[in-house]
Structure 1
Amino acid sequence: MVTVVPTEHLSFRLLEPNATDAVLLWELDQDPEVMRFINGGKPTSKTEIDQVFLPRLISYTNPESGWGMWGVFDQQQFVGWILVRPMNFFSERPKLANLELGWRFKRSTWGKGIATEAAQQVMRSIREQTGVTLFSAIAVKENTASIRIIEKLGMQFKYSGIHHDPLGDMQVDTYTVKLD
């Protein structure tokens, strides 16, 4: 089972499909600015969390591989999450040796390096405990804040294209890094 080692400021745990974690996900998604590049700023309903997001979480969570949604906590306070799953997970050919990273954080953390620190620590822990060295992320061109995080993670632009997802296809840029 992969564990993500705490940093000086942050601790981590895999989120679970339970009522406590469902509330954390729902609260985070109530800020229209947090949701701006996800769905145009529409808050997620509790029904969507229960009927869409938690089943998706169950489908890709694999503690032995480090896959799932890593809750990020600053002094026991939930501040956001780092998603880890194989690239193209919801396709017929998921890329098991290329892990997709995604993130969503409370606006109060923006601009403080927390998302970058959390993503770096998740990548480092997974690399050390599983040997996976290829990580990717996707972003819409307009999401310059996420692209800055992607660049700080050492990822390089690979291609633009349609990201296929059961929740809807989206035009995105894909970035990748291979760690030593």
Structure 2
Amino acid sequence: MVIFETDRLVVREWLDKDKLDFYQLSADADVMKFFPSTLSTIECDRVIQRIKSLNEKNGFCFWSCEEKQSKKFIGLAGLNKIDSELPFAPSVEIGWRFKKDYWGQGYASEAAKGCLAYGFKQLALNEIVSFAVKTNIKSIKVMERIGMTNTMKNFIHPKVELAHLKEHVLYKISPI
């Protein structure tokens, strides 16, 4: 099922054909630089199953991003409920992850803008947050490009053990 389309992307629910590409995405050390580690195929299968379950439960989660022209899976983007021990819970976060070949071409910003529109118009959310490791400049630039504001409330992520990945920045946006 298609969630929404942008000029260059079809943002949709996950299909079995996405698995191999997701495995490759999640095994790329550059893509996963700001995560504790790359993911094995078994871990990827668990992530996909969790995403599908959350999508069924909440009506949204992270979706597959397919390039319209090539019809290829190039990454993921979406919204996710934060109910954990993070200091800004409960909330809804926006996030993305794209194949390295598609970096620097505006795909993350394009998908994220579509996710924001979906969250504010379809889900009637009052606020959407995003967070990233404080040194993840590329993701921070996307947050700023899509109109998010730095809350200046950095936090230590309680689920991250690696010291260089612990401190996160927190951005937010509300509908205009």
Same fold (TM over 0.5): yes
- Aligned counterpart in structure 1 of residue 30 of structure 2, from 23, 33, 41: 33
Q: CA deviation at 1:94?
A: 4.8
Per the alignment, residue 138 of structure 2 pairs with 145
* Alpha-carbon separation, structure 2, partners of 1:20 and 1:32: 22
Gaps in structure 2 of 5+ consecutive residues: none
Per the alignment, residue 47 of structure 2 pairs with 53
Kept in 2: contact 1:84–1:101 (CA 8 A): yes
* Alpha-carbon separation, structure 2, partners of 1:49 and 1:64: 21
* Alpha-carbon separation, structure 2, partners of 1:85 and 1:27: 23
User: Is 1:125 equivalent to 2:109 in the alignment?
Assistant: no
Per the alignment, residue 162 of structure 1 pairs with 156
**% same residue:** 26
Cα 1:174–1:21 shift into 2, 3 Å: same
Per the alignment, residue 178 of structure 1 pairs with 174
Q: CA deviation at 1:157?
A: 1.3
Residue type of the alignment partner of 1:115: A
Let me know the Cα RMSD of the aligned residues: 2.5
Per the alignment, residue 43 of structure 1 pairs with 38
Kept in 2: contact 1:28–1:34 (CA 8 A): yes
Q: CA deviation at 1:133?
A: 3.2
Q: CA deviation at 1:130?
A: 1.8
Gaps in structure 1 of 5+ consecutive residues: none
TM-score, normalised to structure 1, is 0.81
Residue type of the alignment partner of 2:17: T
* Alpha-carbon separation, structure 1, partners of 2:99 and 2:132: 18
Equivalenced residues, count: 169
* Alpha-carbon separation, structure 2, partners of 1:37 and 1:64: 27
